[in-house]
Amino acid sequence: MFEKLYGELLEKLNEDSEVALLTSLSTKDLTINKKQVLSKTELDASIDIELKNNILESFDTGIPTTYNTDEESILIEPFFPKPRLIVFGGGHIAKPLTEFSRKVGFSVVVIDDRPFFANSGRFPDADEVICEDFNKVFDKIRLKSSDFVVIVTRGHKYDGVCLRNTLRYTTAYTGMIGSKRRVRAMMEELSKEGYDKEKLDKVCSPIGLDIGAVTPEEIAIAVIAQVISYRRASNSKLSRSKFNWPEFDMDVMKEAASKSEIPRALITIIGSKGSVPRKAGAKMIVWLDGRLIGTIGGGCSEANILSLARNVIQKKGYSIEHVDMTGDVAEDEGMVCGGVMDVLIESID
Q: What DSSP string runs through 224-246?
A: HHHHHHHHTT-STT-TTTT--PP
Identify the CATH number of the domain in which residue 188 sits: 3.40.50.720
Total tally of structural domains belonging to the chain: 2
Helix H or strand E encompassing 346: strand 340-347
Summarize pLDDT for 140-153 with one digit per residue, the tens: 999 988 899 999 99
pLDDT at residue 200 is higher than 90: yes
Q: Among 59-63, 76-80, 244-248, 270-274, which range has the highest average pLDDT?
A: 76-80
| 65 has pLDDT over 50 | yes
Among 231, 260, 278, the domain boundary falls at 231
User: Is 179 within the bounds of a domain?
Assistant: yes
Do 191 and 285 reside in the same domain of the chain? no
What is the pLDDT confidence band of residue 336, given thresholds at 50, 70 and 90?
Answer: low
Confidence at 331, pLDDT banded by 50, 70, 90? low
Of 231, 259, 280, which closes a domain? 231
Mean pLDDT of 195-206: 92
Q: Is the same domain home to 51 and 91?
A: no
Asked if the structure places residue 211 within a domain, the reply is: yes
Say if residue 138 is in the same domain as residue 179: yes
Residue 339: per-residue pLDDT:
84
- 327: pLDDT confidence band, cut at 50, 70 and 90? low
* Domain co-membership, 190 together with 325: no
Provide the residue range defining the domain that includes 265: 3-79+246-347
Least confident of 76-85, 264-273, 298-307, 334-343: 334-343
Give a yes or no: residue 72 inside a domain.
yes
Mark which of 231, 260, 292 sits at the end of a domain. 231
Q: Are 155 and 183 in contact (CB under 8 A)?
A: no
Letter string b/e over residues 89-121, b meaning 16 or more CB atoms within 10 A of that residue's CB: bbbbbbbbbbbbbbeebbbbbbbbbeeebbeee
What DSSP assignment string belongs to 314-340? HH-SEEEEEEE-SHHHHHHHT-----E
Q: Is residue 236 part of a domain?
A: no
The verdict on 284 and 323 lying in the same domain is yes
Question: Residue 150 carries which DSSP code?
Answer: E
215-236: pLDDT as tens digits: 999 999 999 999 999 887 654 4
Shared domain for 128 and 220, answered yes or no, is yes
Other CB atoms within 10 Å distance of the CB of residue 52: 16
Rounded CA gap, 238 and 104, in Å? 19
Are residues 39 and 177 part of one domain? no
207 in the same domain as 123: yes
pTM metric for this prediction: 0.78
Q: Determine, yes or no, domain membership for 237.
A: no
Calculate the average pLDDT of the chain: 90
Instruction: Report pLDDT for 337.
Output: 59
> Do 207 and 326 reside in the same domain of the chain?
no
Task: Quote the pLDDT of residue 212.
Answer: 95
